[in-house]
Amino acid sequence: MDWINAVIQGVLLGGLYALFAAGLSLIFGVMRLVNIAHGDLIVLSAYLALTVTTALGLHPLLALVIVVPGMALVGYTLQRAILNRTMGDDLLPPLLVTFGLSVIIQNALLAGYSADPQKLQAGEIETASVALGSIALGVMPLIVFATAVVVIAALQWMFYRTALGRAFRATSDNQDIAQLMGLNRAHVFGLAMGLSLAVTALAGVFLGMRTSFDPAAGSARLIFGFEAVIIGGLGNLWGTLAGGVILGVAQTLGAKINPGYQILAGHLVFLAILAIRPRGLFPRIDG
Amino acid sequence: MPMPDPILTIEGLNAHYGDFQALYDLSMHVEAGEVVAVIGANGAGKTTLLRSISGLLRNAPASVLWRGTPIGAMRADQIAAQGIALVPEGRLLFPSLSVEENLIIGGQSGRKGPWNLQRVYRLFPVLEERRNQASTSLSGGQQQMVAIGRALMSNPDVVLMDEISLGLAPVIIRQIYEALPGIVGEGLTAVLVEQDISKALSVSTRVYCLQEGRVSLEGQSQTVSRDDISRAYFGV
Ligand SMILES: Nc1ncnc2c1ncn2[C@@H]1O[C@H](COP(=O)(O)OP(=O)(O)OP(=O)(O)O)[C@@H](O)[C@H]1O
Ligand SMILES: [Mg+2]
């Protein structure tokens, strides 16, 4: 029963990792941008939520109403003002600039909030659980997982059923020809980054409600996000959810064997999958 | 009374790829309603000219004038919004989009006019049968129809077509050229780049020949002599 419990907790944890990963997956899919600052942006969202909750006395889940659009705006502005200038045939400049951004965010958070660990206080919901037979399922992990499924489904729908998604796919296919269709690439990229950071905001708030965080907490989240994306297969959103779940289950099973093995087990499963299927489990089939 | 500005004027256009200069002090003009053919050997600069007009290559502002206004340095999406559409060399459909999505995205700038999905399907009925297929699954000729339809969907005032017969079987080429009068019949202005000289002359009112980035000949398509053309084409 303990093992089944560990698997179920892992699946739910995977929802959080899928939220870490979805934004990465989205911007890589649309503009081939690898955002090294992604983890720090997750942590920045958590701090933003911290400020909103303490200043306005809001519950963290209610703070989402401010943090999600706020981060979307940050994303759009960041892309238009800085990242678009680095985009081109060469993948290195955006990589270096987002690395620099990562350092800047960490130091700004350190200066603004100190290195003390913080947590978003969510009250009773943190410990609430529902019983499934002899297994107790946390309400928060359930909410996070359900949110991840809804977010992935919504992104999938947006990508394949809406004008915005059509613009994303066209721009991803051929930026020049998309521009001929009246799509301003700079704006389309801005929208993609805005959407990516809106998802990141969700991830950051859920992270902050689950565990304590500090300004340096971003890099581990970046790695988990990357691993989920790569396990699932680049450019496949449902694959990203599957990747998050696999990573989550590997970690909770590892922790079951020995609490010290949690992170290591996740990395080992990632490496094993990469060795067997270098393009991930569900790579997108390109035409 | 002053003459009205031509719909499109190229004036002293110099176009570069990095250090390489592809067009030299090139000038030409296109009047509303005209079909202008542009011919020239491989590498003469025909595609570069169309890329410069459509904004994929950006040049000095006054080197391209749209109804008298400088657009030479504008972005491609801004130029598309003015009413210039390009059918690019090699078709370049969006592989991630279905046939119908390729057409819809062509019309998404929202310019008003006679062209819509129904009208494109009437022009090329085979596309309606294949509307939900991946654009990559079509034959070359059908892909060219999508590329033309995609450009028309924006209801342009000027359509630029770059070698629409490239790589297609003669019977398909004939089919596509038979559709041309239905496209330009309603006063749509067209600039047609074409390797096949007799095709180019038969559908156009005027012709320009390019040679090594310069205009080597300008004339009326019906009266221009074959000797002049071969001299302008090959530079002998
Ligand atoms: N992206 C590029 N980078 C560098 N040089 C280029 C590029 N595209 C074209 N050129 C050069 O510019 C010149 C004009 O090319 P362009 O494609 O305009 O010719 P074209 O008349 O369209 O030829 P074709 O009939 O083969 O299509 C050629 O010398 C070509 O090599
Ligand atoms: Mg060409």
Of B54, B86, B94, the CB nearest to A170: B94
For B5-19, what is the mean pLDDT? 94
- A90-121 pLDDT, tens digit each: 889 999 999 999 999 999 999 999 999 999 99
Q: Is B206 in contact with B192 (CB distance < 8 Å)?
A: no
Q: Which chain A residues contact residue B92 at CB under 8 A?
A: 174, 177
Q: Is B153 in contact with B111 (CB distance < 8 Å)?
A: no
Q: Which residues line ligand 1 (CB under 6 A)?
A: B 17, 20, 22, 40, 42-48, 89
Of B55, B80, B134, the CB nearest to A181: B80
Give the Å distance between the CA of A94 and the centre of ligand 1. Answer: 29
- B139-180 pLDDT, tens digit each: 999 999 999 999 999 999 999 999 998 888 888 888 888 888
Nearest CA to A242 out of A5, A10, A3 is that of A10
Closest residue to atom 24 of ligand 1, CA basis: B42
pLDDT classification of A286: cutoffs 50, 70, 90: very low
**Burial grade of B73 (CB within 10 A; 0-12, 13-18, 19 or more):** middle
Distance from CA of B140 to the nearest CA of A (A): 15
Quote the pLDDT of residue B1. Answer: 57
Rounded to 5 degrees, φ, ψ at A93 are -55, -50
- Report residue A182 as tokens: 């009246």
Checking if the pLDDT of B109 tops 50, the result is yes
The number of the ligand 1 atom at minimal distance from the alpha carbon of B193 is 22
Of A163, A174, A183, the CB nearest to B77: A183
- A237-262 pLDDT, tens digit each: 999 999 999 999 999 999 999 999 99
Q: What is the DSSP string of chain B?
A: -PPPPPSEEEEEEEEEETTEEEEEEEEEEE-TT-EEEEEE-TTSSHHHHHHHHHTSS---GGGEEETTEE-TTS-HHHHHHHTEEEE-TT----TTSBHHHHHHHHTTT---SS--HHHHHHHSHHHHHTTTSBGGGS-HHHHHHHHHHHHHTT--SEEEEE-TTTT--HHHHHHHHHHHHHHHTTS-EEEEE-S-HHHHHHH-SEEEEEETTEEEEEEETTT--HHHHHHHHH--
Q: How many helices and strands in chain A, by DSSP H and E?
A: 11, 2
Whether B154 contacts chain A with CB within 8 A? yes
- A9-24 pLDDT, tens digit each: 999 999 999 999 999 9
pLDDT classification of A169: cutoffs 50, 70, 90: very high
For B202-230, what is the mean pLDDT? 91
Question: Which CATH number does the domain housing residue A26 bear?
Answer: 1.10.3470
Q: How many domains does chain A have?
A: 1
Quote the pLDDT of residue B187. Answer: 80
**Burial grade of B11 (CB within 10 A; 0-12, 13-18, 19 or more):** middle
Quote the pLDDT of residue A132. Answer: 85
Does A170 map to a domain? yes
Quote the pLDDT of residue B3. Answer: 67
Give the Å distance between the CA of B47 and the centre of ligand 1. Answer: 7
Checking if the pLDDT of B116 tops 80, the result is yes
Q: At which residue do the structure tokens 């704006």 appear?
A: A187
Per mean pLDDT, which range of A61-70, A101-110, A238-247, B184-193 is the poorest?
A: B184-193
Measured distance CA(B161)–CA(A281) in Å, rounded: 42
Whether B156 contacts chain A with CB within 8 A? no
Q: What is the mean pLDDT of chain A?
A: 94
Give the architecture-level CATH label for domain B8-234.
3-Layer(aba) Sandwich (3.40)
Does A281 map to a domain? no
For B53-81, what is the mean pLDDT? 95
Nearest CA to B57 out of B29, B36, B35, B26 is that of B26
Quote the pLDDT of residue B231. Answer: 86
Quote the pLDDT of residue A285. Answer: 55
Does A283 map to a domain? no
Ligand closest in space to the Cα of B88: 2
Stated pTM of the model: 0.93
Residue positions counted in chain A? 287
Mutate to test the pocket of ligand 1, among B46, B56, B194, B233 (most ligand atoms within 8 A of CB): B46
- Residues in A whose CB is inside 8 Å of some CB of B read 163, 166-167, 169-170, 172-174, 176-185, 286-287
Measured distance CA(B26)–CA(B13) in Å, rounded: 5
Does A286 map to a domain? no
Does A284 map to a domain? no
Distance from CA of A280 to the nearest CA of B (A): 20
Dihedral over Cα of A172, A176, A180, A185: its sign: positive
- Report residue A5 as tokens: 């419990």
Of A177, A182, A287, the CB nearest to B109: A182
Q: Greater confidence, A235 or A119?
A: A119
Domain of residue A214: give its range: 2-115+123-129+136-276
Helix (H/G/I), strand (E/B), else coil: A87: coil
Q: C-alpha distances in angstroms, A185 versus A12, A35, A60, A175, A188?
A: 37, 18, 35, 7, 5
Whether B90 contacts chain A with CB within 8 A? no
Minimal Cα distance from B153: which residue of A?
Answer: A181
Distance from CA of B229 to the nearest CA of A (A): 32
Longest dimension (CA), chain B: 55
Q: Do B104 and A174 touch (CB under 8 A)?
A: no
Quote the pLDDT of residue B227. Answer: 85
For B106-113, what is the mean pLDDT? 90
Quote the pLDDT of residue A6. Answer: 93
Q: Which chain A residues contact residue B75 at CB under 8 A?
A: 179, 184
Longest dimension (CA), chain A: 60
Q: Greater confidence, A1 or B35?
A: B35
Nearest CA to B115 out of B185, B166, B168, B175 is that of B185
Helices B140-152 and B99-106 sit at what angle, rounded to 10 degrees? 30
Q: Do A181 and B88 touch (CB under 8 A)?
A: no
Measured distance CA(B28)–CA(A83) in Å, rounded: 39
